[in-house]
Amino acid sequence: MSSTVIYTHPVCLEHDTGEYHPECADRIRAINHILDHEEFMYLPRETAPAATLEQILRAHPQSHYDRVMAAVPDEGCVELDGDTMLSPKSGEAALRSVGAACAAVDEVATGRARNVFVVTRPPGHHAERERAMGFCFFSNAAIAALHARDAHGFKRVAVVDFDVHHGNGTQQVLWDEPGTFYASSHQADAFPYTGLPEETGAPGGAVVVNVPLPAGTGSEAFRAAYTDVILPGLRDFAPDFLIISAGFDAHAADPMAHLRLQVGDFSWLTRQLVDVARAQCGRRIVSLLEGGYDTRALAASVAAHIRGLMEG
């Protein structure tokens, strides 16, 4: 068994969001540069397959899939909204991102790897059942969770999301889904303006835990949110499979929001989640790249995250 496997695909570099867009191919290039360092260069690399329609339809209706794919242009860029851009390779990149998430679940569920980090774009946690938004087209983490439950029979699948923005799409998709858990730490009063503490899931559906943090929050309060609220909730849920929505835009250097985390905070949290996985779900973790828009901070934070996974 490999401890940590990397899933990616070169088409993710060809998803062109236009000039000056923060969710750009340089994010993947910065991570790839880190992965070329000696400590990571021997991690197995897998090429992401394209998602199947069956996988996508666990989270989205056919009409949403058709609408996204029909909007892919033959040339240039088009806007689905002011933030969410499509270019000729964006449709394939989106399918590879979903496919990577599901293939990573397969890899871990069958024991071929202890955990997987998925280095793809576009991200997914803002994509709602019938709406692409916030740089996202399909709900990658929610699809991975439903794939773990429906294709592999896991009974209690958890998603923990530490992106600085609330994963409204993941929450909405999982809201009514039994056997699922969604927890998010995120900046309060920031896009997409969801994720209030009183959003706790539907009866018989997901267990939802939201901890909004004021702008300017640093390490101490962030760690307390996990130590006091999210990690106890996760342990009480007792997951048998753990998905991480790994966004690194809560770093103090990131231009997209105003939390004040450092690389050490991502390292600490990764190890906390690895400890839960070791104790409760046979070490099974799939981690999916979400945000992170300062490329130097992103690369350093991803390196810390992967080191934590490698210890899992």
> Which are the catalytic amino acids?
126
Which string of b and e fits 126-142 if b means at least 16 CB within 10 Å? bbbeebbbbbbbbbbbb
E strand or H helix at 6: strand 2-8
Task: Could you list the beta-strand ranges (E) of 113-175.
Answer: 113-119, 157-161
Q: Which two tokens stand for residue 275?
A: 């400890």
Count other C-beta atoms under 10 Å from residue 22's C-beta: 17
Residue 261's SS3 state is strand
Look up residue 271 and give its two tokens. 């190890």
Specify the 3-state DSSP secondary structure of 119. strand
Q: Is residue 220 exposed (0-12), middle (13-18) or buried (19+ Cβ within 10 Å)?
A: exposed
- Cis before 10 (ω within 30): no
